[in-house]
Chains A and B, each alone.
Chain A
Amino acid sequence: MTETSRRLSPWAYPLLVLAVLFFVTPVYIMFKVSFSSPGEVLTAHPTFWFKEFTLSHWKAVLASGNLNAPLLKSLLVATLTTGLALLITAPGAYVISRLPKGIRYTVVLALFFTRMFPDVGIALPIAVTFIRWNLLDTNLGLVLAHLTKVLPFISWVLVGTFETIPDDLEKAAWVDGASRLQSLTRVVLPLAAPGLAVAAMLVWLESWNEFTFALYLTLSDRTLPLQTYYYIQRGNWFQAAAYSGLLTIPVMMITLLLQRYLRSGYLSGSIKG
């Protein structure tokens, strides 16, 4: 078939415009609310365009003194979770990637299934246990819980990375006199660095966004997502909008940065071999 027949036929263009509006509008509305004067929003007929642009909600959030603690907690937990997740997962994923094909596939599938368990079923006993261990409201407790969520997912991303590194390279290093550990740190690890970087960003996002475990494990020291939820529950739309914007900016940046990696393999867990 010629190239022209794979072109989009004109009747689909209106659908395309609708789809773009569908994807963009909610995000636009969120930022619009965070920059709008209350009169534009809290009315029976809210306006779609900016009439009165105001920075007052963002200023209020920044000046309130309620932002720093959750922001720091979210940053700290996400960063610690990322470091620990890579430390635990990278060696394990390397070993899985070197298993015989049949076994490797079964292990990856098993990892995939552990992510199918409902969070509320895992968070409940963890919360009950953490009450006894005095880990509620602590950064450590949240990091431990977030690791539960990210380890299986990040394992299969990294198994995919290590699979692409041929083991002939390691064997060549052994012939040259490297020990097994040296061949790992000097040959495999540098080659896996781009994959590790992508995995790190995905973990960081997952922890930054995480809501369910944080909800179960927090009494007073809220993370940023919990803080957003708190303002919504109190009916403070504008503060919630500003917090939402703050929460979204890093996620949006990293997602668009990583878009060429966001293929089905990562999403379905490289299940398709």
Chain B
Amino acid sequence: MRAVLKRHWLEIALILPLVLYIFGFTLVPVTRSIALGFSSEAGGFTFEHYRALFANGQFRGALINTLAITGLGLSLQLFTGLGLALILSRTFRLRGLVRSIMLVPMGVPTIVSGVTLLYLFDSSGYLNELLFRLGLIDLPIDWASGGIRTLFMIVFADLWKVTPVVVLLMLAGLDAIPESVYEAAAVDGATGWGAFWRITLPLLKPSITMTVIVRGVDVFRIFELPLVLAGRMTPVLATFAYTEYNQYYNSHTSGAAATFLLGVILVFVVLYLLFVERERRAEV
């Protein structure tokens, strides 16, 4: 131990602030959140907050909303992201410009994308006006009235904000597929859709798996967009935890909800280790 200290004192000194900070300001708070969820007002250990949580209609609603947004959002994001990446991996005039334009949502703060989508989805907003002018609707749709429409609104907002990231991840995967594979496939008669199903998609699987898990975590803990767009009308897990703390001063309930959220995210982490990591190790 002493020998290690003496030999590597500089390295240890250099990395210590980073380690201490992450320990003190991430790991300790997370532990405290978990502790808050399991401790009673008097300080003893209790499951009471979790029992109350699952008896709470707001929380169950938040859970269902979060699951729906995650499922719907992920599928749409993958579909759109992959489609756009396939288009952008081809050559055409103005490709550089289109690739830059695609990054525009990344240049918009999340809170601002919430605000601008509010202008779009308001009942006298721009989306209703567009649908009206296209002759698709006669009366405005109240997108924020709750239920499936509001979920769709949140999914759309998230889709807009993150599509660039998904496209970039997919493009990186596509770029990694060597041209020679397609040449060999063309000799064997696989072109167009055949080549897409038999070559592109299987070879892209690692990128898709990683995107699903990384994006899955982000959608599951989505906070700003539902807060701005739907407020307390349509809670998700994160906004539920926030409201419990901020409006009702229930830090124990908020801690329990956050811990539940953390538990689900840990499942994603395990999935990541199982699917992305194992494949990576197998490749090496």
Query: Which residues of A are in contact with B by a Cβ distance under 8 Å?
Result: 1, 3, 6-9, 12-13, 15-16, 19-20, 22-27, 29-30, 33, 41-46, 48, 87-89, 91-96, 98, 109, 111, 113-114, 116-122, 124-129, 144-145, 147-148, 151-152, 155, 180-181, 208-209, 211-212, 215-216, 225, 228-229, 232, 237, 240-241, 244, 247-248, 251-256, 259, 262-265, 267-268, 271-273
Contacts and interface: CB of A to CB of B under 8 A. Distances in A.
Given A147-B21, A209-B109, A255-B103, A121 B129 contact: no
Interface string B113-132: 11111111000111001101
B30 A1 contact: no
B118 A26 contact: no
B11 interface: yes
A105 to B, nearest CB: 9
Contact of B160 (A22, A96, A181, A215): A22
Given A44-B140, A46-B124, A151-B21, A30 B112 contact: yes
Given A26-B105, A256-B107, 11 more contacts: A15-B87, A22-B160, A24-B104, A26-B117, A27-B104, A87-B17, A208-B109, A215-B246, A237-B119, A263-B172, A264-B169
Contacts of A147: 21, 25
A117 B33 CA distance: 11
A128 B245 CA distance: 10
Interface residues of B, number: 94
5 contacts: A26-B120, A114-B26, A116-B268, A181-B10, A244-B115
Nearest to B28: A125
Contacts of A251: 107-109
B258 A124 contact: yes
Contact of A8 (B92, B104, B130, B255): B92
B90 A244 contact: no
A137 B276 CA distance: 41
Interface in B144-189: 160, 163-165, 168-169, 171-173, 179, 182-183, 186
Contacts of B132: 45
A229 B104 contact: no
Interface in B243-283: 245-246, 251, 254-255, 257-259, 261-262, 265, 268-269, 276-277, 280
B134 interface: no
Nearest to B259: A121
Nearest to A42: B124
A30 B104 contact: no
A139 B164 CA distance: 32
A156 to B, nearest CB: 12
Contact of B241 (A89, A124, A155, A240): A124
A29 B116 contact: yes
B84 interface: yes
B92 A255 contact: no
Contacts of A128: 32, 36, 251
A20 B165 CA distance: 15
A201 to B, nearest CB: 12
B110 A209 contact: yes
Interface stretch (B41-49, B50-58, B69-77, B220-228): B220-228
A224 to B, nearest CB: 9
A228 B118 CA distance: 13
Q: 5 closest pairs, A vs B, by CB?
A: A92-B18, A121-B258, A252-B107, A264-B172, A91-B14
